[in-house]
Amino acid sequence: MGALHDGHLSLVKRSLAENDLTVLSIFVNPAQFAPHEDLATYPRTLPRDIELLCQQAYTPPSEPSGRTRQPSAIFLPTVQEMYPSGITQTVTEQKGTFVEVKGYSEQMEGKSRPTFFRGVATVVTKLFNAVEPTHAYFGQKDIQQAILLRRLATDLLLSHPTPKNVHIVPTARDPSSGLALSSRNVYLSEDGKQVAPSLFDALTIAQEAWDKGVDKAGCIERAVNLIEQRKRDAQEKGMNVDIKLDYIEMNDAREFEVLDVEDTINTRRGRPVILSGALYMDSTRLIDNLILGNAREIVY
Ligand SMILES: Nc1ncnc2c1ncn2[C@@H]1O[C@H](COP(=O)(O)OP(=O)(O)OP(=O)(O)O)[C@@H](O)[C@H]1O
Ligand SMILES: CC(C)(CO)[C@@H](O)C(=O)[O-]
Ligand code: BAL
């Protein structure tokens, strides 16, 4: 959706390294924003995005001519081109064709954003049809989205890309704080920026407990306590930031079922788990996740 940062560029770099041709899309998709969300204010920095993309280059070590690969095209459709039947953000008033991935859109992010994945699945189906990519790259930061898109590729019998060629690239983070890079980080105030890494810290403390054999309930309790402590610290320091935890949850990474409170690393036997959370910093909603167990089954 543009407003590019190093997380987006890590997807571009992967594609350049693994493919002859790389096509980007930049499209702020109205259908995935609920009417109360930030469609109008979503950061748009197209000239800078194009400049950054033009700077991306990769020379394959095996290329005899030493020819460098660069992005081949940037697909910049208009709303009218992507939604020939028109589009409103109010689902009950929409007309035309939409794609739903039932049973995978209601948990985690879908609980807080009930129409989000319908909008994502619809626009990504259109982008796949327009570009017909052999491989597609999505970020782990939006893990539910990426796994759901593999499911979409499976259910719709897609050949471009096949489900196996829907790749998930690890989350790029701020090297000093661990904060997941996101276009929405520009909304954060100075105080907000200082407290925002709390979400990653909370997930990390839960992951450490999980690896030591603590059950799900204990892991989540530790994560929530850390957020509460950071909230108190911010208040004591007189920081001007309103911190509200939306959720921290653990779900099966294949089917998205919520884990039982007494589940542990031993009961899961390596079956991968998504440990995810969302945190409001004032009105900015940040998300993050870690994969517990066999992450390589998911992130490749
Ligand atoms: N920190 C990151 N590391 C790796 N991939 C990322 C990261 N942030 C975004 N992406 C991926 O880049 C692609 C485009 O994402 P998008 O344009 O929605 O940006 P975003 O930074 O996730 O924006 P926002 O935070 O506003 O949702 C998605 O596949 C997304 O998962
Ligand atoms: C997948 C996506 C491009 C659909 O608009 C968007 O949700 C994103 O960038 O994460
Ligand atoms: N990267 C997810 C896009 C969204 O939050 O709308």
Among residues 248, 170, 168, which one has the least CA distance to residue 210? 248
Which residue puts its alpha carbon closest to atom 5 of ligand 1?
139
Which residues in 114-154 belong to E strands, given as ranges? 136-139
The whole-number mean pLDDT for each consecutive block of 10 residues of the chain, a chain of 300 residues, reads 98 97 98 98 98 96 84 98 98 98 98 98 98 98 98 98 98 98 97 98 98 98 98 97 98 98 97 98 97 97
Q: How many whole angstroms from 5 Cα to the centroid of ligand 2?
A: 14
Our answer on whether the CB atom of 169 is closer than 6 Å to any ligand 1 atom is yes
Q: What share of the chain is helix, strand, coil (3-state, %, to 5)?
A: 40, 15, 45
Dihedral of the CA atoms 269, 272, 274, 275 (nearest 10)? 40
Say what the pLDDT of residue 66 is.
73
Q: Is 240 exposed, middle or buried (0-12, 13-18, 19+ CB in 10 A)?
A: exposed
Using the structure block, give the residue that is written with the tokens 């499911």. 151
Which residue puts its alpha carbon closest to atom 7 of ligand 1?
7
Judge whether 160 counts as a catalytic residue. no
Q: How many whole angstroms from 7 Cα to the centroid of ligand 1?
A: 6
Say what the pLDDT of residue 62 is.
81
- Contact call for residues 56 and 70 (beta carbons, < 8 A): yes
Q: How many whole angstroms from 123 Cα to the centroid of ligand 2?
A: 8
- For residues 260 and 270, give the distance between their C-alpha atoms in angstroms, rounded to a whole number: 16
Ligand lying closest to the C-alpha of residue 131: 2
- Contact call for residues 144 and 292 (beta carbons, < 8 A): no
Which residues form ligand 3's pocket by a CB distance below 6 Å?
32, 142
Our answer on whether the CB atom of 278 is closer than 6 Å to any ligand 1 atom is no
Say what the pLDDT of residue 229 is.
98
- Strand arrangement of the beta sheet that strand 284-292 belongs to: 243-252, 273-281, 284-292
Query: ipTM of this predicted complex?
Result: 0.98
- For residues 167 and 149, give the distance between their C-alpha atoms in angstroms, rounded to a whole number: 10
Mean pLDDT score across all residues of the chain: 97
Number of C-alpha atoms within 13 angstroms, CB side, residue 58? 20
What pLDDT digit, counting tens, does each position of 159-174 carry? Answer: 999 999 999 999 999 9
Query: Exactly one of 8, 36, 135, 167 is catalytic; which is it?
Result: 8
Q: How many whole angstroms from 291 Cα to the centroid of ligand 1?
A: 17
